[in-house]
A = this chain, B = another copy of it.
Amino acid sequence: MTEPANPIQTPKGTAADLIAAGLLLFGRQGFAATSTRALAAQAGTNIASIAYHFGSKEGLRRACGEEVARRIGAALSGVTALPATTPEAARAQLELILRRMAVFVTTSRAAEPLLPFMLREVAEAGPVLDAVYSALFEPLHRRLCALWAAATGQEAESARTRIVVFSLIGQVLYFRIGRPIVMRRMGWTGFGADEAEMLAEILVANLHALLDRERLS
């Protein structure tokens, strides 16, 4: 989730160009609305190369999903591997993850072509979703559930824990999904340069409020 000092090297060649085009156009317009001609044009190649490299348009979609899973998985590994021995440590790690998520969805350059593609796949429940999901949402859900359980003493598998984790992730994702349309329709001029900071601050305040309340009950 952090920007690596040495940014992930994107492979070169026609296949990589097509995957980049797929991430961009599938994410921007959706799978069905994107023609193979548009993909080839965006990649600076011809239509036939899609069949040559990926078998079909659907194959390119799959390759895009695997590429996303690969990059996201690498970016998340540092987050999902941290241990949490005490409630205090679990709380601190929940806070850390939320801060990184806030930065990721608002300002991370790495997220730019990946996030729209992923959100599309979630919305379309496409066949690629499992790869993306198992690389991102599943470890994130599991990790947050485990941390919440460690911080509160509740069951990680309980419905309550699950719903709380849903709400934590949902706050971040809806912020990303809804921001463009809300800003356009309501004439909001933007949140400024400190947008990520402010979102993170509110997410963390929200988290601590939830945890404190949980401890009291």
- Interface of A toward B, CB cutoff 8 Å: 29-33, 119-120, 122-125, 129-130, 133-134, 137-138, 141-142, 159-160, 162-164, 166-167, 169-175, 177-182, 185-186, 188, 191-192, 195, 198-199, 202-203, 205-206, 208-210, 212-213
Contact = CB atoms under 8 A, between A and B. Distances in A.
A62 B58 CA distance: 29
Nearest to A34: B32
Given A30-B30, A30-B33, A133-B181, 7 more contacts: A30-B124, A120-B123, A138-B186, A159-B192, A163-B175, A167-B174, A167-B202
A94 to B, nearest CB: 14
B202 A141 contact: no
Nearest to A191: B159
Contact of A191 (B162, B172, B175, B198): B162
Contacts of A178: 122, 137, 166, 169-170, 173
A112 to B, nearest CB: 16
A95 B40 CA distance: 51
